[in-house]
Amino acid sequence: MNVTIDGIIGGALGLIGVFISLAYSMRLDKQNKEFQKQMEKSHREYDLWSKKYDTLVQMISYRYDVKCEEYSAAMNGITATFYDSKEVMDAVKKFHAYLEYGAVDSMQTNERMVNIYAAMFKDLKIDQNVDEVFLNKVFNGK
126 lies in a domain?
A: yes
101 lies in a domain?
A: yes
142 lies in a domain?
A: no
SS (H, E, C) the chain: CHHHHHHHHHHHHHHHHHHHHHHHHHHHHHHHHHHHHHHHHHHHHHHHHHHHHHHHHHHHHCCCCCCCHHHHHHHHHHHHHCCCCHHHHHHHHHHHHHHHHCCCCHHHHHHHHHHHHHHHHHHHCCCCCCCHHHHHCCCCCC
Output the pTM of the full model: 0.75
100: domain range? 2-136
54 lies in a domain?
A: yes
Digit-coded pLDDT (tens) for 83-139: 999 999 999 999 999 988 777 788 888 899 999 999 999 999 998 888 877 787 777
103 lies in a domain?
A: yes
48 lies in a domain?
A: yes
21 lies in a domain?
A: yes
Digit-coded pLDDT (tens) for 65-85: 888 999 999 999 999 999 999
141 lies in a domain?
A: no
The neighbour count for residue 78, using CB atoms within 10 Å, is 22
d(CA 61, CA 33): 41
What's the total number of domains in the chain?
1
